[in-house]
Amino acid sequence: MIKYFESTAGITADQLQGFFVGWPNPPSPETHRRILDNSAHIVLAFDEDREQVVGFVNAISDNVLSAYIPLLEVLPEYQRQGIGRELMQRMLALLDGLYMIDLISNPAALDFYTKLGMTKEVGMSLKNFDRQSGRE
């Protein structure tokens, strides 16, 4: 049974294992917890049977005009079960009323975001790969 939470209350770093699949230098579960705590909004998908977080999305925002969604991930064994869509729909509801909700999609996820009503635009990015695991 998957439950959805909008805070990290009661969630330990140990329950955040397994994310950032394919990242050469991923944030630790403790840093992941810090990312979530510093975000304007989060939604977590929590498997009650395993007592593990199995998906998450976060947003940073000025809470007036704009929000940016940096991270969305569902653990591989939980993908294609509707969890990613539920996370995004809940996040978009939290961000309702803002003018701009932006994200950078990887090419494989374009169809997923299109199905949520998002449109493809041109973005720019600068990545410091030596800081991929997070700032101290």
Ligand X SMILES: CC(C)(COP(=O)(O)OP(=O)(O)OC[C@H]1O[C@@H](n2cnc3c(N)ncnc32)[C@H](O)[C@@H]1OP(=O)(O)O)[C@@H](O)C(=O)NCCC(=O)NCCS
Residues at the contact surface with ligand X, assessed by CB under 6 A: 72-74, 79-85, 105-106, 108-109, 111-112, 115
Task: Please identify, using beta-carbon distances, which residue of 38 and 79 lies nearer to ligand X.
Answer: 79
CB of 24 to ligand X, least distance (A): 15
CB of 25 to ligand X, least distance (A): 16
Closer residue to ligand X, CB minimum distance, 111 or 121:
111
| Nearest to 45, CA basis, from 95, 11, 96 | 11
Helix, strand, coil percentages for the chain (3-state, nearest 5): 30, 25, 45
Nearest distance from C-beta of residue 117 to ligand X, angstroms? 12
DSSP bridge partners of 58: 42, 71
Tell me if 13 sits within 8 A of 37, measured CB to CB: no
Nearest residue relative to ligand X (C-beta) = 84
**Cβ 73 to ligand X, closest distance in Å?**
4
Rg (CA), the chain: 15
Between 42 and 72, CB nearer to ligand X:
72
Residue given tokens 């140990």 in the structure block = 14
The least distance separating ligand X from the CB of residue 61, rounded to whole angstroms, comes to 18
Q: Which is nearer to ligand X, 48 or 136 (CB)?
A: 48
CA dist list (Å): 129 to 50, 102, 110, 132? 33, 22, 23, 5
Q: Given the complex with ligand X, which of 14 and 102 has the nearer CB atom? A: 102
